[in-house]
Amino acid sequence: MKIAALIKQVPDTETKIRIKADGSGIEESDIKYIVGPYDEFAIEEALQIKQKVGQAETYVISVGPERSVEAIRTALAMGIDKAVHIDNEAAVLDSYQTAKVLAGIIKKLGIDLVLCGKQAIDNDNSQVVSMLAEILDYPQVMIAEKIELNADKSGAMVTRRVSGAKEVYEVNFPLVVGCE
């Protein structure tokens, strides 16, 4: 089984954002960057599933500038096996372009379970996860709080909270899950 946690490096929420003296943009030199908090849930879920399955290979995949390597190192230090970094320093990608790039890597690696944070905290959107699932033609479950593999490991029971209740989905792999 191959499991990928998709991560994005984002500014730490406690970082003080300053405008450049000339007003041309944000002063980035003092910004502290971290792994997105929801993406950390995806990493943890990947590691927990690997521990239960035993024979799983875990990946962390990130699209971002060179500084994103710091976030990737954090995931590797947490126990992820392998990493893929797509450096987009030269081009700013929108959500759809990011999803297309990620889909190509995921197909090439033969990933069975794609785990993502439910949203990015820097722009507060959750577009890439759904776009990715659509491009891959994989089923998706968003805002998941629990993933349990079924007995033959061909799929999972995914639990999510909705309006004070819980929904449980039984879904076969390959699968995209937005973790909360």
* Confidence bin at 59 (pLDDT 50/70/90): very high
Domain count, the chain: 1
Neighbour tally for 165: CB within 10 Å: 7
Instruction: Kindly list the distances between the CA atom of residue 162 and the CA atoms of 5, 17, 61, 133, in Å, as whole numbers in the listed order.
Output: 23, 34, 28, 20
Q: Which residue segment(s) compose the domain that 78 sits in? A: 2-179
Q: What is the CATH number of the domain that holds 11?
A: 3.40.50.620
Percent of the chain residues topping a pLDDT of 70: 98
- Closest listed residue to residue 132, CA positions, set 86, 96, 161, 158: 96
Rounded Cα distance, 81 and 76, in Å: 6
The pLDDT of residue 127 is 84
| 13 pLDDT more than 90 | no
The pLDDT of residue 74 is 96
* 158-174 tens-digit pLDDT: 999 888 899 999 999 99
* 14-55 tens-digit pLDDT: 888 889 889 888 888 888 988 998 899 999 999 999 999 988
Rounded Cα distance, 130 and 169, in Å: 17
* Segments in 110-144 forming alpha helices (H): 127-136
Which amino acid is residue 45, in one-letter code?
A: E
* Confidence bin at 149 (pLDDT 50/70/90): very high
| Contact between residue 68 and residue 85 where contact means Cβ atoms under 8 Å apart | yes
* 98-148 tens-digit pLDDT: 999 999 999 999 999 999 987 676 766 778 999 999 999 999 999 999 999
> Can you give the pTM of this predicted structure?
0.91
Burial class (CB in 10 A: 0-12, 13-18, 19+), 154: exposed
